[in-house]
Structure 1
Amino acid sequence: MMKENTLSYAIRLACAGGLLAAGVSIPAFAQTEPSIQRVEITGSSLRRTANETALPVTVLGRADIEKSGVQTTEELLGQISTVSSAGGQVNGGQSGLTTYGKSAVSLRGLGSDKTLVLVNGRRLANFAGGATSGADVNINAIPLSAIERVEVLQDGASGVYGSDAIAGVVNFILRKDFKGIELSGLHGQPTEGGGAKQNKIGLVAGFGDYDNDRFSVVVSAAFEKEGNLLGAARDYAKSDTNLPYYAGGATETGRIEGTWDFPGTATAFDAGKNTRSATNPYGISGTGYGNPSAKLGQCAEIGMAPRSGLGFGSGAPNNALSTPNCTFDTGPFVSLVPNRKFTGGTMSGRFKVNENNELYASGLFSKNEFTNPIQPAPLRQAFYAGNTRFIGSGVEPALLIHPSNPNYKIAADYLNSVGLGAMVGHTLAVSQRTFLLGSRTTNDIAKQHQLVLGGKGMIGNLNYDVAYVHNKSKTDGNVIDGFASIFELSKVLNNPATHWNPWAPLGQQSPEVAKLIDATKYSGPTIAAKSKNEGIDAKVDGTLMTLPAGEVGIAAGLQARDESFDLTPAPATLTGDVIGLGGAITSVHAKRSVWALFAETEVPFTKQLTGNLAVRRDSYSDFGKTTNYKASVRYQPMESVVARASVGSGFRAPSLTALYAPQQVNTSEQFTDPQFPGNGQIQVTSIAGGNPNLKPEESDQYSIGLVLAPSKSFTASFDWYNIKVDGLIAAPSAQQIVSGYRRGAAGFDQLVEVLPSGEISKIFQFNANVNSVKTQGMDVDLRFRENLMGGKFTANLNGTWVKKFDLVNTDGEIEDSVGTIVRPDGNPLVASPTGVILKWKHNLSVGYQTGPWTATLTQRYYKGYRTANDLDGNPHHVKGQDQYDLVASWSGWRSLKLSVGVRNLFDKQPPLFIHNGSQFQSGYDVYQYDPRGRFAYVSASYKF
């Protein structure tokens, strides 16, 4: 045992208070100095107390979590100021994206793939989803009710932990010291209504006394259910058009895409075939030749909205021709909050072999089920790209209306009226929004398992810990409504005998045609994915010698594990034949072996100055070996001051999917072509996939910090950080490629194919080591606590200020990415495919506790930032926003605790937001605002 002096205790309390925006209520300082047992702290293999470390480690205790008002692990981490929306993922952001319900955390905005997530100090399996997953952990696989504390290391630690720890480490410590049975429940819902109700039930049970019974076992279980919320339920999100700020461009029903003059000859095809040319001047155009319903002023009758802009931008027959169009308003149909069901459980057991040795086991299981309804699927010629079922079939890869169809007259009259009479008499390709199929509804089930079996204790003067670790993440994707076989649907509608009407009100067809369409529907699996890692780790730590200034600590160990990722598409998705899923999904089967040796020492040079050095050697079977280090010093010249600093190197190995995902044909995400802005948001053929020649990302970092405790009531810490990462692995977005090509940036001409008309028909989105980034900033933590009026008063402020986030993009330009999601010219930043690097973000909470009553009021604030330009090309800025949360609890009868809380107490609406193509929702930033608005809840717990 060792004792802490007053400053050390203050520092430890400041760390233990956490960085939450939710009522952290820390007791006033004790009058005697408590004894604190040494334990392993995140960021080191040596045992010490939290105050001893030279690294900025934040510890969020169970009490802090309960007072925060958060209901999921995602919400918990989302309120930490060093967590950035850039490079992360949230549940609400998944609508329209194939994320399979993943939530991921990004420290410093460097990306979730560079933030290491641990449970009880050990890795989880990376999330298994689509072919672009496998690089990060789904944090919502960890049940919030099972967490005893969270330790957040806000400093690079590849030298200690290996890959993924460039930005820092989030270590979830699960509950293992508990006796009795505790039941808990919660009900919450938005006060505005519309859905998104939440219900939770939790159980924690502990048996045995380790000291007296020689064993202890703690188990927990959690059951959660959350309803969905659609855009139609919120005024700011119910339309994807808000002039003059933004306008939707989603695929409409009935747009004439061009003449189809090559019947029966489709073999290999993509969006660049059957295009306008000298022999076929009215061939397929990405922007089309207008919509007959728009000309008649009947967009609303077909479930669309009027849209201005060119029918086609350039090329034959008339560059200046403008044709009327409709557009589909996705706003009401987009899911803001998905349906979610969660079931999870944990187990922790210890058995005392003797006074110095024990055996232990721990396990985690969780099941997240997401059911997500979104708008009916679009279908146009570009979306046929990569669908192998059409090759040699004689079925045309487009939706066609033949001159023999009685409804062809609608098209003929329109074409003659706008000067396109030369197209009359040709078979026409048209676009559709498939209303008769219903809303697309996916059902994705993600499971996470962890099993640890080990032993630890003492041999001589050394502590040892040896364990076998097994981790698995498994995802099963399914579609349950609103989907169909593109091939079968095209086969039915393209039959000249099927007199379908592309301009029927709301897509309604005759009973005979409707029956044929219904027969093409597909419901069933999409993917089965599995990510595994298993292996052993062993380490020892202890005292090497004793110097006049104190003990010299040492630690050493080894780790060995096998990693694998397997993705098996369902037959229908393997061919790219399911409408609305974005193209073919190709199987992935990859594996690697990893081993590592590491050592660490800590030397007290004087009573005031301590130094630490860690070195790690990692070997990957598929790309080689790397050595990294971490060095730090801690200096305490007086009782009220601590200075600390660290320097280190880091690396991140390419994920298995980044290396080995097959290169395949798909449809790109939406983008705007700067050369044809009137075309709105479009999509083209995309060739994307892995790159087996990738090299690891490498980093260098340093940090300098100062902790002050001028009194027992007040502590303050300031930590400056500087991180540089080279060789960033990225698959450039469609918008980045197109914008780079149009401005003539070097190398981008290799990533596009262009039609004779000048329009882009194909892009290449392969993974590559293409960028570097440097970020600097400061973390601030101020804490005050004092006895007041017979109770305990606390006030805490935690914030992060980012001075620099400079990313060198593919063409060598430096992008200043702080406080903006776009470049100065309005094009998207490479650094912000999701979220924004906020200039300043803080959480300020005040709490008061008297007797059985506790109340905490929290302010969550972020500084405003620039969004995409409005439709007139003017820069647009989001205003800074503060929201307030209030939590109150009472525990005045036995072991009963009752709580009520309100998040977003004043029901603040989101500031107007213009996205850069990184989300499907409109009107608000999905990464900064909770669309539930004011959310009220009640909870209760009782311990037996």
Structure 2
Amino acid sequence: MDMTRENQMLNNQVSKAVRLAIAFGAASTAAFSASSFAAEEEGVEKVERIEVTGSRIKRTDIEGANPVVVIDRASLDNSGQLSVADVLNRSTFNSFGSIQPSSGSTAQSQATVNLRGLGSSRTLVLINGKKMPGSPVMGGGAADLNTIPFAAVERIEVMGDGASAVYGSDAIAGVVNIILRKDFEGVQVQGRMGTPSRDGGGDESSFSIITGLKSENSNLVFSYEHDERDIIFARDRWFSRATDDGSGTFAGTTGQSWYGRNILDMQTFEFNPMITGQDCSQYGDSFAYHNDAPDFPADDGCHYDYTAVAADAASTKRDSVFVNFDYDINDDLIFNFRSLHSRNESFGRFAPAAGWFTFPIALAEDTEKGLMAVNEGDRGYYRFNNVGTSRDTWQVSNMADWSASLNGMGEVFDWHVDAHYNRYEMNEWGQGYVHRPSVENAIIDGWDPRDPDQSAYATQLANIAANSNRRSGSTLREVTAGVSFNELATLPAGELGLYVGASYRETDYFDQAEAQNEAKNIIGTAGGSAAGDRTESAVFAEMLIPVVDTLELNLAARYDDYSDVGSSFVPKVSLKYQPFDELVLRAAWGEGFRAPTLEDLYKAPQESASSAKDVVVCTSAGTSRSDCRTQQHTTYFIGTDSLKPEESESVSFGMVYNITDNIDMSVDYYDIEITNQVSSLSTQDVFDLELAGLLGDPEDPNDNAAGYDQVSVDRGGNPTGRSLLVTAPMANIPGFSTDGLDFKLNAVFDLGGAGLLRSKFAWSEVLSYEEPDIIGYPNVDKIGRAGLPERRISWGLTWDIEAHMLNVNWNHIASTAEETEDANDEGTKFKAVGELSSYNIIDINYTYATPWNLDLTLGVNNLADKDPVLNSELDYDDTLYSQVGRLYYAGFKFKF
């Protein structure tokens, strides 16, 4: 149906709802289905029902009891961003930031959204109302937004309330429903190129073409999109380069690593450099000598500047093809087929392989070369820049997502049957790694890792070089069916609505490392694998009850049964009260759940050099927690097959007020509590559990306190000795809670001959975020600490006059504390100290619509060239702040 019919005059009740919706973003005319509103041939108005995210019951009134924000196509274009992930990352409901492509992990190509700061795994992402499976690259816990073509998106609907009773697992924080285009005619070609004002990477480009064909009873939409983003190296930004304050201590540096050229004496547990005389520069320009005072003043070493080689942001190259086909079989039956294929290539660069190995033989002191003596059994903490100047990782991800559905409409009820198939595969190739057993053999064969001149050992070094390859994948097969009785019964206040449905889903998952990685024989990679499968069956129902003319009650319930983690029943109750057309009051209560991912259950040991404070060693030495030095500790992270689903309870209430025909506002409050939280214990958690006496015999992890099986710390038989290996499994821990407010104020001003001015203002305030400072202790409010800003604000202004459009967008992230320090003598409570500045970014773009259907755009993101917010050690949170700096871009859009 063409847009002229869709835009015909609505009745008074619906037009009021539309004005409410447009102004604060609950919905918009762009959110309507193609046949949402139409005039019959005789001119009599006919209002049909639509489905809004958060409910499966179609209704005539757009605004329901759930707070839903719509980002329409115009807002996407005006944002100046390159991808869906970029847009959502800057939104106010992405409270504490989300994963963006970064070099340094397997997830280097991935991007997520994190509603309410509850974690990406607790945000359900839908494509056209169907669940988007979690990426196997991230263990199946969160959807990868980088598989979604930006040009193919019609709008994004964001529901900031729990919805497990409607959609099932993962919808604890809310739902992001990405609606792809299905009603497009003609051909549109679009392109863009951008470059930062700073030298050193970050260039971006994109190209897309979308075309649509329509006939009397069918329509077809096709799109292709390609975009690229260049790598950014740590050395290319002043704040990510290594620093040294000249004090000669390791504490006075940033960007330095203990994995350089060092020996750990396994008798005294003291570190020393492999060379005497403190002249570490003999190993190369990236090596420097430091003492480890004040934490371990007996330790000194040759440290390595990893920022000289490593990248911060990975390069990405994405291609996607999207097809949507609708066919009206008859007046009462519609067939839909949707296909989305996405390919994502990425490249990341890490510093040369770093790790430890055991000296199989003693090596005597060499006074001529100044080499330290080594005992048999000592460990080398080594940077293998003599094997490879870097570790390079290439990834290629391919996703195929298909869905087909039949939608029937009858006099008594409507029905649908949907089939959904998704397959995601990732292949990773890495080079520059080291085979640990071969290192020990090479030493026996004559290789001396202490020697600054490695040119004589070419054969041995070639023999220890290794690659690190892995494959990840998942497959989802799902069938869903439902029946909707839009007018089940006529009550005095209106029609009773009922929806009942059922679904069956099969999921397979694997993350397979090479055999040598699996055996933990490769230095410089985490290794480890995981695999599993599950089936899920669900039944769900929803009822809409018009209690009186101004009060609407919505009831929803869902029962899910899993083949591996049991079952769950969750209800939800919501109310909408509309005393007059301009005002809507709403409230909701509901329960939610999140099933552990297959990786959570079955992950094999993955090795990591994780940063933490060894509070056991510090306490035994009389050092307070705040003075205890953060160090890297070898840690194995593993799955736990006895995990149970986590549960949640949420409450929300709010109002929407149409102040005038041109100004509208909304205020919503939310409160979410999560219990039985599924969590990956950190290295710090393990040390804290050990200090609390909850870990028993380190040789028998089953001797631990209940719920902490498999947790252990190997200290070489010395209860207060240096940690040699930490084992940190997945666990169910008590949980956390948060509450906050969302405020929106939108307006449209007619400036007469000066054009039209639109304003969209959003303010999200996190009132509390409560979780323990130390695992096992009571919850405390952490809001305002580093990484947990209490406030995000966005304000967009659009000035539209004839062929000219100017967009200005301001994004604000509140200041936070820099760190915490002890608030009691026991070191079990902390207080925030210091202050990190707020983050204010202004984006601006101008578009000129030429007379030839060609739009030309010039823009600048981060107009003031703001750096990310840095702490005293020049670290920053890359989920909240960008390292790109000011970005200039130019683009075009041509439609014919």
Cα RMSD of the aligned pairs, angstroms, is 2.8
> Is 1:601 equivalent to 2:543 in the alignment?
yes
Kept after mapping to 2: 8 A contact 1:733/1:765: yes
Deviations 1:213-235 (A, max 9, x none): x2211011111111101111111
- Structure with the bigger RCO (C-alpha within 8 Å, sep 6+) is 1
Question: What residue is the counterpart of 1:225 in the other structure?
Answer: 228
Kept after mapping to 2: 8 A contact 1:687/1:763: yes
Question: What residue is the counterpart of 1:342 in the other structure?
Answer: 318
Partners in 1 of 2:639 and 2:499 — Cα distance? 38
User: 1:937–1:398: structure 2 CA closer, same or farther, 3 Å change rule?
Assistant: farther
Question: What residue is the counterpart of 2:840 in the other structure?
Answer: 882
Kept after mapping to 1: 8 A contact 2:202/2:232: yes
Partners in 1 of 2:409 and 2:375 — Cα distance? 88
User: 1:242–1:7: structure 2 CA closer, same or farther, 3 Å change rule?
Assistant: farther
Identity percentage of aligned residues: 25
Partners in 1 of 2:583 and 2:22 — Cα distance? 15
TM-aligned CA deviation for residue 704 of structure 1 = 0.6
> Is 1:202 equivalent to 2:202 in the alignment?
no
Kept after mapping to 1: 8 A contact 2:26/2:68: no
User: 1:334–1:486: structure 2 CA closer, same or farther, 3 Å change rule?
Assistant: same
Question: What residue is the counterpart of 2:113 in the other structure?
Answer: 105
1:377-388 equivalent positions in 2, closer than 5 A: 377-381=353-357
| Aligned residue type for 1:147 | V
Partners in 2 of 1:429 and 1:255 — Cα distance? 8
2:433 to 483, 508, 514: 483
1:64-75 equivalent positions in 2, closer than 5 A: 64-75=75-86
Kept after mapping to 2: 8 A contact 1:100/1:129: no
| Aligned residue type for 1:472 | R
| Aligned residue type for 1:705 | G
Question: What residue is the counterpart of 2:826 in the other structure?
Answer: none
> Is 1:56 equivalent to 2:67 in the alignment?
yes
Kept after mapping to 2: 8 A contact 1:41/1:49: no
User: 1:730–1:253: structure 2 CA closer, same or farther, 3 Å change rule?
Assistant: same
> Is 1:708 equivalent to 2:708 in the alignment?
no
1:305-454 equivalent positions in 2, closer than 5 A: 305-310=288-293, 313=296, 322-381=298-357, 397-398=358-359, 402-403=363-364, 410-412=370-372, 429-436=379-386, 437-454=388-405
2:639 to 671, 685, 690: 690
User: 1:579–1:323: structure 2 CA closer, same or farther, 3 Å change rule?
Assistant: closer
TM-aligned CA deviation for residue 923 of structure 1 = 3.1
Question: What residue is the counterpart of 1:509 in the other structure?
Answer: 454
1:556 to 483, 500, 505: 500
1:543 to 468, 487, 495: 487
Question: What residue is the counterpart of 1:234 in the other structure?
Answer: 237
> Is 1:891 equivalent to 2:849 in the alignment?
yes
Partners in 1 of 2:193 and 2:245 — Cα distance? 35
1:757-906 equivalent positions in 2, closer than 5 A: 758-790=721-753, 791-808=755-772, 810-821=775-786, 836-868=787-819, 875-906=833-864
> Is 1:157 equivalent to 2:147 in the alignment?
no
Partners in 1 of 2:47 and 2:20 — Cα distance? 13
1:78 to 62, 75, 89: 89
Moved more, 775-784 or 759-768: 759-768
Report the TM-score when normalising by structure 2: 0.88
Question: What residue is the counterpart of 1:658 in the other structure?
Answer: 600
User: 1:145–1:608: structure 2 CA closer, same or farther, 3 Å change rule?
Assistant: same
TM-aligned CA deviation for residue 782 of structure 1 = 0.8
| Aligned residue type for 1:509 | Q
Q: Unaligned 5+ residue runs, structure 2?
A: 1-9, 29-43, 696-704, 823-830
Question: What residue is the counterpart of 1:91 in the other structure?
Answer: 101
Question: What residue is the counterpart of 1:934 in the other structure?
Answer: 886
Kept after mapping to 2: 8 A contact 1:353/1:359: yes
TM-aligned CA deviation for residue 330 of structure 1 = 2.2
Question: What residue is the counterpart of 1:672 in the other structure?
Answer: 613
Higher strand share: 2
Deviations 1:131-175 (A, max 9, x none): xx1122111111111111111010000000111101100011101
Partners in 2 of 1:223 and 1:837 — Cα distance? 34
- Determine helix, strand or coil for the equivalent of 2:261: coil
User: 1:62–1:341: structure 2 CA closer, same or farther, 3 Å change rule?
Assistant: same
Question: What residue is the counterpart of 2:713 in the other structure?
Answer: 752
Partners in 2 of 1:899 and 1:444 — Cα distance? 33
TM-aligned CA deviation for residue 11 of structure 1 = 1.3
Question: What residue is the counterpart of 1:118 in the other structure?
Answer: 126
User: 1:854–1:7: structure 2 CA closer, same or farther, 3 Å change rule?
Assistant: same
TM-aligned CA deviation for residue 679 of structure 1 = 8.9
TM-aligned CA deviation for residue 909 of structure 1 = 2.1
Partners in 2 of 1:854 and 1:294 — Cα distance? 66
Deviations 1:498-550 (A, max 9, x none): 3x35251xxx522x413431343234x62112111112101121211222322
Kept after mapping to 2: 8 A contact 1:249/1:681: no
Partners in 2 of 1:52 and 1:34 — Cα distance? 20
> Is 1:468 equivalent to 2:479 in the alignment?
no
Kept after mapping to 2: 8 A contact 1:368/1:447: yes
Partners in 1 of 2:536 and 2:68 — Cα distance? 27
User: 1:886–1:17: structure 2 CA closer, same or farther, 3 Å change rule?
Assistant: farther
Deviations 1:278-317 (A, max 9, x none): xxxx4xx3x513453562474784521332325994xxxx
- Determine helix, strand or coil for the equivalent of 1:108: helix
Report the TM-score when normalising by structure 1: 0.83
| Aligned residue type for 1:852 | A
- Determine helix, strand or coil for the equivalent of 1:135: coil
Kept after mapping to 2: 8 A contact 1:241/1:329: no
> Is 1:11 equivalent to 2:20 in the alignment?
yes
TM-aligned CA deviation for residue 18 of structure 1 = 8.3
Partners in 2 of 1:636 and 1:246 — Cα distance? 61
User: 1:299–1:548: structure 2 CA closer, same or farther, 3 Å change rule?
Assistant: farther
Kept after mapping to 2: 8 A contact 1:248/1:327: no
Kept after mapping to 1: 8 A contact 2:276/2:371: no
- Determine helix, strand or coil for the equivalent of 1:58: strand
Partners in 1 of 2:374 and 2:856 — Cα distance? 73
Partners in 1 of 2:223 and 2:302 — Cα distance? 54
- Determine helix, strand or coil for the equivalent of 2:817: strand
- Determine helix, strand or coil for the equivalent of 1:482: strand
TM-aligned CA deviation for residue 185 of structure 1 = 0.8
Partners in 2 of 1:379 and 1:723 — Cα distance? 42
User: 1:400–1:16: structure 2 CA closer, same or farther, 3 Å change rule?
Assistant: farther
Question: What residue is the counterpart of 1:250 in the other structure?
Answer: 257
Partners in 2 of 1:426 and 1:239 — Cα distance? 34
Partners in 1 of 2:377 and 2:326 — Cα distance? 74
Partners in 2 of 1:548 and 1:114 — Cα distance? 40
| Aligned residue type for 2:765 | W
User: 1:332–1:868: structure 2 CA closer, same or farther, 3 Å change rule?
Assistant: farther
User: 1:618–1:425: structure 2 CA closer, same or farther, 3 Å change rule?
Assistant: closer
Partners in 2 of 1:708 and 1:375 — Cα distance? 55
Kept after mapping to 2: 8 A contact 1:399/1:430: no
- Determine helix, strand or coil for the equivalent of 1:878: coil
Partners in 1 of 2:135 and 2:362 — Cα distance? 44
> Is 1:303 equivalent to 2:286 in the alignment?
yes
User: 1:845–1:555: structure 2 CA closer, same or farther, 3 Å change rule?
Assistant: same
Kept after mapping to 2: 8 A contact 1:400/1:429: no
Deviations 1:637-695 (A, max 9, x none): 12322111111111111111112223x37344232324458995544443432222111
Kept after mapping to 2: 8 A contact 1:184/1:203: yes
User: 1:596–1:407: structure 2 CA closer, same or farther, 3 Å change rule?
Assistant: farther
- Determine helix, strand or coil for the equivalent of 1:236: helix
